[in-house]
Structure 1
Amino acid sequence: MRVVVEVIRASRLVPRSVDDVVVSAGLLLHRTASTGPEVFVAHMGGPFWRSRPRAWTIPKGLVEGAEEPLATAVREFAEEIGVPAPVTASDAVDLGEFRQASGKRVRVFTASAPTFAVDEVRSNTVQLELPRGSGRFVEVPEVDDARWVTVDEARGLLVAGQVAALDALLERLARSG
């Protein structure tokens, strides 16, 4: 992921940061299935993540300039999944901010999306220099797969720094009955 962030910084985006900490915002869709709560997660694309464990993520991206975090989450969902996010501002609930191992902070919003389905992920692409320092760039999708999984499955799939968002979601669902 660090490579992607560096490429994005070098291209069109100027991320919002506090004390040089990169801030992202993401959208964690949820629904209730017969097996319990499910969440919609995305597999990070490109050769770095191809065979790594915990290579799944909440669809998210860098907050640009003065952009509101919820607007970022909705925009990034559409860019990474290829369809508009099935939420409005009044549907979304702020689960809070979660720190990843890299130091990046991810603000996570959630919304119920019981009928949301996507047949094919049509992610935007990013350019990566492979191998590093070679001067050779390849385009790779930011996301190469996305699906509904149980919260328990998501615990083993998501990058470790995002697992706390699952706990926040479960707490929220328990409070709302």
Structure 2
Amino acid sequence: MSSRAERSAGLLLYRIADNGLEVLIVHPGGPLWAKKDDGAWSVPKGLYDADEPAADAARREFTEELGSPPPDGPLLELGEVRLKSGKVVTAFAVEGDLDAATIVSNTFEMAWPPRSGRTQQFPEIDRALWCDPDTARTKLNPAQAAFVDRLEHTLSDR
């Protein structure tokens, strides 16, 4: 393992609905994730290089994974978490709205079925979901649940 962990940046979209705070989370696409739910969801995010500002990468990845640009509003810094894989994820939050049913994700290729010699394309994100913070904490990768806690704390201080 290299001494430099991979770095991802993501953007947690939030809105204040009639029933309170809601956040938009995404489910990874492809056959490896098809039957996984709780603990498998994520903040829209992706890898970035050291020469790209994390906030710029978060906005770029949001656009690539959801098919529309994020709102132009001010970003709230949510800090970093380290995933079990060692990857470090930096996240920001921005207030806005988006129809989760209309997302169009970029795609990736992988050999599938295994050892078949064939490659197939899959969406990087197969669905998005607006949910309350408790549902988000259950569905998100456990390390990323901290972003929801930090967002709630930040909003309560306003």
State the TM-score, normalized to the length of structure 1: 0.82
| 1:67 corresponds to | 52
1:82 aligns with 2:64: no
CA distance in 2, matches of 1:23, 1:132: 28
Instruction: Specify every segment of 5 or more residues in structure 2 that has no aligned partner in the other structure, as ranges.
Output: none
Are residues 1:107 and 2:90 paired?
yes
CA distance, structure 2, for counterparts of residue 65 and residue 42 of structure 1: 25
Which residue does the alignment assign to 1:92?
Answer: 75
1:11 equivalent in structure 2: none
Distance in 2 between residues matched to 1:66 and 1:132, nearest whole Å? 36
Correspondent of 1:40 among 8, 17, 24:
24
Aligned residues: 156
Q: Name 1:52's counterpart in structure 2.
A: 36
TM-superposed deviation, 1:129: 2.1
Q: Where in structure 1 are there 5+ consecutive unaligned residues? A: 1-17
Percent sequence identity is 40
Aligned residue type for 1:38: E
- How many Å apart are 1:127 and its aligned residue? 0.9
Q: What secondary structure, in the 3-state scheme, does the structure 2 residue paired with 1:102 have?
A: coil
CA RMSD, Structure 1 to Structure 2 (Å): 1.7
Letter in 2 for 1:43: H
Q: In structure 1, how many angstroms separate the alpha carbons of the residues matched to 2:72 and 2:134?
A: 24
What amino acid is aligned across from residue 120 of structure 1 in structure 2? T
Aligned AA for 2:78? L
CA deviation map 1:10-63 (0-9, x unaligned): xxxxxxxx8231100000011112222100111110011111122211000001
Counterpart for residue 129 of structure 1: 111
* 8 A Cα contact 2:101 2:127, kept in partner: no
- Equivalents in 1 of 2:81, 2:23: separation in Å? 17
